[in-house]
Structure 1
Amino acid sequence: MRSDRVRSVLYLPASNARAIEKARTLDCDVAVLDLEDAVAPEAKAAARAAAVEAVRGGGFGPRLGVRINGLDTDWGPDDLAAMKAAGATLVVAPKVETPEAVHALSAGLGKGCALWAMIETPRALMTLADIASADGALDGLMLGVNDLGKALGTGALGTGASADREPFKPWLAMLVAAARANGLLAIDGVFNRIDDADGLAAEAAQGRLYGFDGKSLIHPSQIAAAKAAFSPSDAEIVQARAVVAAFAQPEAGNQGAIRVDGAMVERLHLEQAKALLARAQG
């Protein structure tokens, strides 16, 4: 499993100068300046210039990424070239549907720049294994739930959405499996109802249960809940320490499984415990 801290991935419109400046002060793990959905067509060029200035200017506490427009749009190729020239270290690409798209995007990135591919169409779901295993700069997969819900016809992200994202469950599991099989980050989709704190907490907890590394966010008020959900809890830390301590005892010897607090624990659980403690310290 990747160790990168991507618990909270906040989207901010690159067309909003105040939002860019605010991003420098936020405690999210990753800030993504958006050139795609959050920017009107007539503002695309100005937003691109603002993103270039932000990347070059630096000063961001969180890791900084830029979501470009698709390469099949009028703005995408220029976005990609501008990010390479600016020295961007993370590019998020929307509506990636094929491994060939991963190759094309990777070829246009600067050295050392990571690529996150958004999975948000039915075709992408059908080619997900090929996308995830494509050679190139691919570093993470992101679930684009709004576009995916629209394309599938589920209506799953409206105000009357299923509280447990029932229509999305197969795709939640599939994306995490594809990411894990290829050493990639898995980042859950956005939660649209900004004022529904309980709903956000529940959905973030569900995302972690499915194995996601973090969650995409649309408002700074969502950062704390995402970081809490995707960080080890106090109870988990106590349990992990107990597992590590138990296997360190002489009587554990070379046993493959031992009893800890009334449960049988195998050495694979020891590896999980050590990984969890490492994340907690990070």
Structure 2
Amino acid sequence: MTRPCRSVLYIPAANARAMDKARSLPADAIIFDLEDAVTPAEKPAARVLLAQALQQDYGGRLRIVRINGLDSAWGADDARAFATGADAVLVPKASRPEDLDEVAALIPDTPLWAMLETAAGMLNAAQIAAHPRLQGMVMGTNDLAKELNARFRADRLPMMAGLGLCLLAARAHGRIIVDGVFNAFKDDEGLRAECEQGRDMGFDGKTLIHPAQLAIANAVFGPSEAEIDLARRQISAHEQAAAQGLGVAVLDGRIVENLHVVTARATLAKAEAIAKMTA
């Protein structure tokens, strides 16, 4: 089971206090942001500050560094600085697999993640997801909406095609994929609704802009007690049916086939991984 990524919190790499506080926050993963969250004047100093912060213990949290694009004055130095010391490097505005090749050439071993936030990135999602160094994908829904000239809608209908293409690509190649941010960090009801939509679509988790959003994302993207109980009963019912020479079982008036058991075992594995990480 891949480590959980229910909650993926952006932290500005220029903010030493925020990076220190993140060590105690209940986030599954942290994106230390050298790109959008840092002004041009601060970028060189933020790189040094982040390197110092990553020498600290972040527990089981996945530590991802979002570098600046290689077409900027800072991207190549960012990549070289975090060839080691982070769990992954996040490539912004990945629009084609060659964008990952260029970063991979500067970073021999560290896994890569890709920001999918351009129209070209949506159309090339399958080729990006197939990249041998790729571990995860992050939806950049704010930039995508800007590129599409889309209007805000609570149901995110204008972005469904792009979100769906990226999900298909991630699942076809076994990559982690996390949903974009919800900007209104004081709107708990809206956040919960968008998390539930992303979960139901198939995302592994959600990127977040404020620690106040962590509890909702963790709850929505983690298995509930009812789901854990159902998973256990499905496995038990299927095993009992198999012992009787039956190909399928019936539980609560529904057929339980092998595909349901696979999903049930994944649910239990995720719950176990979350329990270990939060112990």
TM over 0.5, yes or no? yes
Partner in structure 2 of residue 148 of structure 1: 144
SS of the residue 1:24 aligns to: helix
d(CA) in 2 for partners of 1:252, 1:163: 48
Report the CA distance between 1:16 and its aligned residue: 0.9
Is the aligned partner of 1:221 residue 2:212? Answer: yes
* Alpha carbons of structure 1 residues 46 and 251: separation in structure 2 relative to 1, 3 Å: closer
Partner in structure 1 of residue 89 of structure 2: 91
Is the aligned partner of 1:267 residue 2:263? Answer: no
Report the CA distance between 1:225 and its aligned residue: 0.6
Report the CA distance between 1:13 and its aligned residue: 0.4
Report the CA distance between 1:102 and its aligned residue: 1.4
Partner in structure 2 of residue 158 of structure 1: none
* Alpha carbons of structure 1 residues 251 and 134: separation in structure 2 relative to 1, 3 Å: closer
* 1:18-167 to 2 correspondences below 5 Å: 18-55=17-54, 57-61=55-59, 62-84=61-83, 86-111=84-109, 113-135=110-132, 137-155=133-151, 161-167=152-158
d(CA) in 1 for partners of 2:231, 2:9: 30
Report the CA distance between 1:252 and its aligned residue: 5.3
TM-score by length of 2: 0.94
* 1:168-207 to 2 correspondences below 5 Å: 168-207=159-198
CA contact (8 A) 1:237 1:276 kept: yes
d(CA) in 1 for partners of 2:246, 2:43: 61
CA contact (8 A) 2:137 2:170 kept: yes
* Alpha carbons of structure 1 residues 239 and 83: separation in structure 2 relative to 1, 3 Å: same
* Alpha carbons of structure 1 residues 117 and 242: separation in structure 2 relative to 1, 3 Å: same
Report the CA distance between 1:251 and its aligned residue: 6.0
What is the aligned-residue identity percentage? 46
d(CA) in 2 for partners of 1:205, 1:68: 29
CA contact (8 A) 2:16 2:53 kept: no
d(CA) in 1 for partners of 2:128, 2:242: 47
Report the CA distance between 1:254 and its aligned residue: 4.4
CA contact (8 A) 2:94 2:100 kept: yes
The one-letter code matched in structure 2 to 1:13 is: P
Report the CA distance between 1:106 and its aligned residue: 1.8
| Number of residues of Structure 1 aligned to a counterpart in Structure 2 | 272
The one-letter code matched in structure 2 to 1:178 is: A
Q: Which moved more, 1:252-261 or 1:268-277?
A: 252-261
Partner in structure 1 of residue 276 of structure 2: none
The one-letter code matched in structure 2 to 1:131 is: I
